[in-house]
Chain A
Amino acid sequence: MKKTIVLVPLDPVHDVALKMLNRYLSEHGHKVILLPPDLKPEEAVQICMKEKPDFIMVSRTLGYNAAEILGRFIDLLEASNLRDTCKVVVGGKAVTPELAAELGYDAGFGERTEWEQVLAYVEGREIQEAENLIRKRKRDLTSGYSYEVRDSQIRKMLDTIADQAIEWASSRVTPGILRAEIRERLINGENVKSEYVNLCNGPIEQFYRQNIIPRHVRKISPAEKQNLEHLIREMRVSGKILQLSRTKPAVFVQYGTGCPFMDIVHIKISESWGADGVLHFDPSWGARCEGLLEGLLAHEEDGSLITLENLAIIKSALEDYTLWCVRAHRGLNTPETVLLAAKTGADLTKINMVYGSLNGGTDPARLTVDGIHALKLAAKYSLPFDIPTNEELGGVPAEKAFAGMITVAYIGIKLGAKPILKPLFCHSPDAMINGYMEDNFVDYNVGKILALRKIIDAPIWPGEPIGFMTHSEDRVQSAMTTALHAALAHSLDLEAITIASTDEAYARGAITVPARIDSLRAIGDAFRFFGKASIEPTNQAQTYAEMIYARIIETLQKVVDRADFVASLYEGDFGSKEDGANPGRAGRDTVIE
């Protein structure tokens, strides 16, 4: 039914929203009277008395005295007998339902209101309906990719390396693999705990045998758990969408405050500001111990402990559209972590034997055996895995890190798993030394993507996080560089990105929630700014792509010539000591033939 609406700008200048509303409501067949912005409230009341509207909509920016002006206006309407016959609504950037209630208005529409919500209100439809109009959906980051290696020369090399590595690993086993098998039996209810404990060491073994809780770890009490569960039930997230005209890239944030409670709050806030996915970061010491703890545990250090219970409660807090990656890439518990990720409902995991053994601290032979088993588990449980190349931050040139990444991807493909490539969008030491980014940050990053796309048809997800080494202590500056790198990924139509909070590099402790929101807001605006438009690199990008491509082939050739994947890791073919890569020692001599 056609409604009459009087729009009242109780504001000397800010009537833009009402002008837009005027057009929108008129287009939907309602009679709208837009008053000029310089009317006295009494004059507006007089017009309302003449027009007898169904709705009076007032717009006002909130400064001091605004409340008194709005309060007086509603009193004037009530004194003029209009309050019982028409609904009165207040709108403005800082308007909330609480403010509307305080001022005595029937509803308040703030900054995040969609025109459709106002229309629904006018037409008497449920507002919830409008909120649900845009529903976020979980995306499959691997769909539409053939995983075909486009270059036959590279395909041949990868076949040789992958076959050798898989063959070598097939006759070997590790405590990590055995624990993953026992863990599966434990989950199935078998009483094999002592077998598990026999394969643990250090603080993990002490935890099980002597009930000694590791340093900085605390058990979460049943009462605390109950409160958390209550909190999870009460929290509602509306699921903002950052990408407007394109669907990519999915935006991931990393969490790992140490405390599952804090993680959940960070996740919920990130979801409400538009994050599409979250990545679980575990403590680095956990990667160097044989075995995983159990129970709901907090940890007063960076990284949240991987236990079945911690993962399960985090999963219970996630919105159904949020992608969840539990990383397993680098430590002595890689296969078991993939298993727990699968069992608790993760969408993705993270495995990279090259990075994990060169910069993650794990022995190359051990991680090769564990990694290949973990890839089999990822295939078995249909968990796509991403392959980070963060060795570039230690100084390894991109092409060597990429050769490692492509090798792991290819091994994964051979085992039936779905890899996601994770080149860095960063100002890396190698790029600095060689001056690749002297003029701009676009060409070299674009060169990386062009080189990878020339090699293989696979999803690409720059991480971890984008804009690494471009942040400063200034949060505005950090939000800016993150947003620019995000815009580049957006422009290149990449599958996903991982972003940092604006205080991540300088937090001096746990990162803060406002700093998380900074990045998400900045990215939303960057996506809005570019829409379907693109960033245009210079010709130099193509030159870099060819350089990277050629050097990847060189690296792979060395590995082929060595004919021993593990030996190549030890000897620096994928990154040498001079490059800043050091073979790890955790788990050395634990591989059983």
Chain B
Amino acid sequence: MKTLGVLGTAKNTGKTTTLNAVIKCLSKHRLAITSIGFDGENIDFITGLPKPKVLVDQGMIVATTDKSERYSTAKMGLLLQTNIKTAMGIVGIYRVKEPGTAVLVGPNRGSELKTLINQIERFEAELLMVDGAVNRMIPFQSVENIIIATGASRSTEVETLLTETLVMIKCFKLPTIEADDFHRVQNLITKDDIDALHGKDKILVQGIVTSEALKHLLSLEKKIKLLLSSPMHILMIDSYPVLSKALESKIVDFAVLKKPKLLCITVNPCYPEQRQQGYTLSKVDLNHIIKNIISRTSTVVVNVDKEESTLCQVLEASL
């Protein structure tokens, strides 16, 4: 069974819309679906704006909690109860008997997602789709393929969004290497953490690197190989501009232990704009970004609402 995660850079970047498009593209395949958050609410918890619903077809495998299954309009039969606990109940594996909407609450960390993937294997799905939650990344270390959903909701400043997206693509293109002779640390958070490396030049960071640590490394002007657990771990940094600078520098040489394959990027030009009372849906023109990324990288970028067929082609080619 293959696995595909939809990683969002913020709320309302179009994860569920992307997921629904993926389901449509791959409707001839045996699909399974879950979420690392809560999916299928009528209205957004914070903005109060309507949210798209996840639509599931007959025969699909759905991993969600007992409490959420009740609020789905799709009729489902329980196949297996897991031990995975969430704030909304215990996750079970279901098969859809009658199509409809599905409320999805699945495992919210990588280790549990891995357990779930192993448990779903036996039900002979060809692909498990994992919907993201807000801007969460780390649980996706357990999937093999990734689609990144970004857009105006992450930032309405087109240049910022472009820079960030390019940084993300770069991280997913980093080489994967073995950690044999690397010095291991958990995190690099402060200058002191860097000083504690005592000039070692091959470092495996299992957790995160902060911009403070990275800036200090750059200022030392001494070549260093930084090996991180995954591209998502690098992207946990608190400043993308600092990361961008480090990625371009000759001082820090990044690599990752493991990475999912980045299939494509979907962009959502709509975002919730705060008004005097509540939020309203506004739009930013993102064509510039789409063209720019395509011309500078080989990564496919699509506006899901308009270019579903492009997405389908990418999926057919890579899965």
Contact = CB atoms under 8 A, between A and B. Distances in A.
Contacts, number: 121
A563 interface: no
A492 interface: no
A41 B238 CA distance: 9
Contact of B133 (A41, A63, A71, A107): A71
Interface string A71-91: 110111011110110000000
Nearest to B67: A97
Contacts of B232: 75, 79
Query: How many of chain A's residues touch chain B, expressed as a range?
Result: 35 or more
B144 to A, nearest CB: 19
B257 to A, nearest CB: 13
Interface stretch (A42-50, A332-340, A532-540): A42-50
Interface in A107-145: 107-108
Interface string B125-160: 000000001111111000000000000000000000
A68 interface: yes
A71 B110 contact: no
B135 A71 contact: yes
B37 A102 contact: yes
Contact of A78 (B46, B110, B190): B110
A104 B37 contact: yes
A95 to B, nearest CB: 9
A45 B208 CA distance: 10
A318 B206 CA distance: 56
Contacts of A41: 238
A71 B135 CA distance: 6
B136 A74 contact: yes
B45 A80 contact: no
A68 B36 contact: no
B134 A102 contact: yes
A184 interface: no
Interface in B186-207: 186-187, 189-190, 206-207
Given A98-B88, A101-B38, A104-B37, A68 B47 contact: no
Contacts of A577: none
B104 to A, nearest CB: 10
B45 A45 contact: no
A64 B138 contact: no
A103 interface: yes
Contacts of A100: 87-88
Contacts of B206: 81
A66 B274 CA distance: 14
A67 interface: yes
Interface in A219-249: none
Contacts of A108: 87
B38 A80 contact: no
Contacts of A105: 87, 108
A79 B208 contact: yes
B38 A102 contact: yes
Interface in B37-91: 37-39, 41, 45-47, 65, 85-88
Contact of A98 (B11, B36, B41, B210): B41
A80 B11 contact: no
B236 interface: yes
A63 B41 CA distance: 18
B86 A101 contact: yes
Contacts of B105: 101
A81 B109 CA distance: 11
A79 B135 contact: no
A83 B109 contact: yes
A74 B37 CA distance: 12
Nearest to A89: B87
B38 A64 contact: no
B272 interface: yes
A67 B39 CA distance: 14
Query: How many of chain B's residues touch chain A, expressed as a range?
Result: 35 or more
B223 interface: no
B187 A75 contact: no
B85 A106 contact: yes
B45 A98 contact: yes
A105 B135 CA distance: 14
Contacts of B303: none
A101 B138 CA distance: 16
B154 to A, nearest CB: 9
Contacts of A96: 45
A100 B105 CA distance: 11
A217 interface: no
Interface string A514-546: 000000000000000000000000000000000
Contact of A104 (B11, B108, B111, B272): B108
A238 to B, nearest CB: 16
A98 B46 contact: no
A184 B103 CA distance: 50
A84 to B, nearest CB: 6
Contacts of B136: 71, 74-75, 103-104
Interface string A40-70: 1111011001000000000000111011101
Nearest to A72: B135
Interface string A447-466: 00000000000000000000
Contact of B186 (A80, A94, A97): A80
Contact of A67 (B45, B88, B110, B190): B45
B233 interface: yes
Contacts of A83: 109, 111
A99 interface: yes
A80 B207 contact: yes
Contacts of A40: 238
Contact of A64 (B108, B139, B207, B274): B274
Contacts of A46: 187, 189-190
A67 B274 contact: no
A101 B134 contact: no
A40 B210 CA distance: 11
B207 A97 contact: no
Contacts of A101: 37-38, 65, 86-88, 105, 108
B10 interface: yes
A98 B47 contact: no
Interface in B3-51: 10-11, 36-39, 41, 45-47
B165 interface: no
A75 B46 contact: no
A518 B22 CA distance: 45
Nearest to B39: A102
A190 to B, nearest CB: 45
B229 interface: yes
A534 to B, nearest CB: 39
Contacts of A94: 45-46
Interface string B228-260: 010011001010000000000000000000000
Nearest to A108: B87
Question: What 3 pairs across the A-B complex have the smallest Cβ distances?
Answer: A104-B108, A100-B87, A71-B134
Interface of B: 10-11, 36-39, 41, 45-47, 65, 85-88, 105, 108-111, 133-139, 186-187, 189-190, 206-208, 210, 229, 232-233, 236, 238, 272, 274, 279
10 contacts: A42-B189, A45-B189, A62-B45, A75-B137, A75-B232, A76-B236, A101-B37, A101-B105, A102-B41, A102-B45
Given A99-B45, A101-B87, 10 more contacts: A46-B187, A46-B189, A68-B11, A68-B134, A71-B135, A78-B138, A80-B207, A103-B37, A104-B109, A105-B108
